[in-house]
Amino acid sequence: MSEKFQAVVIGGGPGGYVCAIRLSQLGIKTACIESRGTLGGTCLNIGCIPSKSLLNLSENFNKAKNFSKLGIEIGKVKLNLNKMMKNKDKAVTVLTKGVEFLLKKNKVTYYKGTGSFQSSNKISIIDNQKKEILIEAEKTIISTGSEPVSLQSIKFDEKIIVSSTGALSLKNVPKKMVVVGGGYIGLEMGSVWSRLGTEVHVIEFLDHITPGMDKEISKEFMKILEKQGINFHLQTKVESIKKNNKGATVFTIDKDKKKNNFGCDVVLISVGRKPNTKSLNLDSIGVLLDDKKRIKIDKNFQTSIKNIYAIGDVIKGPMLAHKAEEEGIAVAEIIVGQSGHVNYDIIPGVIYTSPEVASIGKTEEQLKELNQKYKVGKFPFMANSRAKAIDESEGFVKILANEITDKVLGVHIIGPHAGDMIAEMAIAMEFGASSEDIARTCHAHPTFSEALKEAALSVDKRAIHS
Ligand SMILES: Cc1cc2nc3c(=O)[nH]c(=O)nc-3n(C[C@H](O)[C@H](O)[C@H](O)COP(=O)(O)OP(=O)(O)OC[C@H]3O[C@@H](n4cnc5c(N)ncnc54)[C@H](O)[C@@H]3O)c2cc1C
């Protein structure tokens, strides 16, 4: 007899495990299936967490090299990459084990194996010894995430031609690395290796990096990264990549049809990710995909099959861990008849470089396209006392507010701790704040967040410190 569950979640990433915990909290008998062997998905194993660990460690290495200029004498600073990687792996292990503990604590049954549909309510799980278990589900939530896409038919060997996964575990510091794609993953990983001593070249097809970001911020961001030593080749297309006995050569063509080639030890292809649905046997049960091969859902996350739902990277929307988590909670609440909801207009996006970049709401370009009249308030970190005190004063805050109602429509920050500061703006926007509301809120001194208040004051041209 196969065990019966009220809900089964396929995929134990931030969408899946959060959904499973919430379902269980709501009194639903729940199972979660994960094929990787550890919980936490892309995010904890090969995404957010290891990348942030390496960003932090490489940033510390970089800072330590300059300590003597600040009056801190610690002798010669030397890199031990093996130890650095072990440190990163430790963070991953602690966190993935933590998720396993949370599932246990919340009485979610955890199956290690690959789940696929035998019918709309029968799921087969194949474990790593090829043993099959069958379970039954009244409702199933698909949260199988995404995987990196490559260029043309180029295969990742994760040593010379790497995806983000390989770039997180290189055994040596490459002399030269070509990063294909100027999105956030390429720039974060490019920053890590550049700080550790690699000559990094970013090849980007568009005329700007970080597509979708407010253009003014994106320009400033590229200027700062260039100053840090990263080389950019915009409006340039990769034609082919050829491996050789030392590494690879990347052949490119630019907008003026000029051909170029880049010899390097490692090529990181970071041109996007695609939904991961291949192992699920969706065709046979009639779950439909959209034109981008994402699972089609309605406003309640329901797929074309009534008792099957989907969330996270496998559906439309930004591929972000916190978006997947919000959807996991919303769908669990919808399943028990509550009114779970995700506000897609207010999802922050953060790039964890130095300085950090964080955005929420509309960009100036989007407001123009919508014919929305708006006011702009800006404040540079150069005029923020805390940023000056710690010598991290690059960047600025930009607030966009409705010209008539003053309601905040978008906030874009490039500067120290931008990723933490954006949370204040998320709350403000969730509560429908005006720039006046932010401007009249007392902010502690000296803090980076005073720059938010000053930018809000600047919306009506009354900033005090600039
Ligand atoms: C290098 C990198 C850095 C990133 N940094 C950030 C960041 O800083 N902030 C942020 O918000 N996002 C970041 N992301 C994106 C983030 O990791 C994803 O958006 C998030 O993990 C999506 O969550 P998910 O639950 O939808 O899918 P996933 O995390 O991909 O989890 C899906 C899980 O399902 C499992 N699975 C697939 N098929 C089956 C099956 N048939 N049976 C059982 N299990 C299955 C997979 O093994 C996987 O573990 C980063 C991604 C990368 C690659």
* Per-residue pLDDT tens over the stretch 331-348: 999 999 999 999 999 999
Q: What is the pLDDT of residue 153?
A: 86
Q: Quote the pLDDT of residue 37.
A: 97
* Residue closest to 268 by CA, chosen among 350, 147, 172, 158: 158
- pLDDT of 152 > 90? The answer is no
CA atoms within 13 A on the CB side of 159: 6
Burial class (CB in 10 A: 0-12, 13-18, 19+), 398: buried
Instruction: Find the residues whose C-beta lies inside 6 A of ligand 1.
Output: 10-16, 33-36, 41-43, 47-48, 51, 114-116, 143-146, 164, 185, 276, 279-280, 312-313, 319-322, 324, 352
- Chain centroid to Cα 341, Å, comes to 21
Paired strand residues for 401:
375, 408
Taking the CA atoms of 100, 105, 111 and 115 in sequence, report the sign of the dihedral they define: negative
Compute the distance from residue 431 Cα to the ligand 1 centre, in Å: 30
- pLDDT greater than 80 at residue 1: no
What residues form DSSP beta bridges with 309? 141, 302
Rounded to an integer, what is the distance from CA 295 to the centroid of its chain? 20
Residue nearest to atom 48 of ligand 1 (CA): 41
**Residue 351 to residues 87, 213, 218: CA-CA distances in angstroms?**
22, 11, 11
pLDDT digits (tens, 9 = 90+) for 432-456: 999 999 999 999 999 999 999 999 9
Identify whether the C-beta of residue 30 lies closer than 8 Å to the C-beta of residue 20. yes
Q: How far is the CA of 37 from the centre of ligand 1 (A)?
A: 14
Q: Note the pLDDT tens digit of each residue in 215-255.
A: 999 999 999 999 999 999 999 999 999 999 899 999 999 99
- pLDDT mean over 93-102: 98
Averaged pLDDT, 158-181? 98
- For residue 413, the cross-strand partners are 358, 397
Report CA(315)–ligand 1 centroid distance (Å): 12
- Annotated catalytic residue 445: yes
Please state the rounded mean pLDDT for residues 252-278. Answer: 97
The sign of the CA dihedral 168, 171, 173, 178 is: negative
Predicted local confidence at residue 61, as pLDDT: 97
pLDDT band at 389 (very low <50, low <70, confident <90, very high): very high
Q: What angle (nearest 5°) sits at the alpha carbon of residue 442, between those of residues 439 and 443? A: 95
Tell me which of 21, 36, 38, 43 to substitute to probe ligand 1's pocket, judged by most ligand atoms within 8 Å of the beta carbon.
43
Cβ neighbours of residue 260 closer than 8 Å, sequence gap 6 or more? 233, 236, 251, 252, 253, 254
DSSP 388: H
pLDDT surpassing 90 at residue 322: yes
Residue 214 reports pLDDT greater than 80: yes
Summarised one tens digit per residue, pLDDT across range 105-138 is 999 999 999 999 999 999 999 998 999 999 999 9
Residue type, 292: K
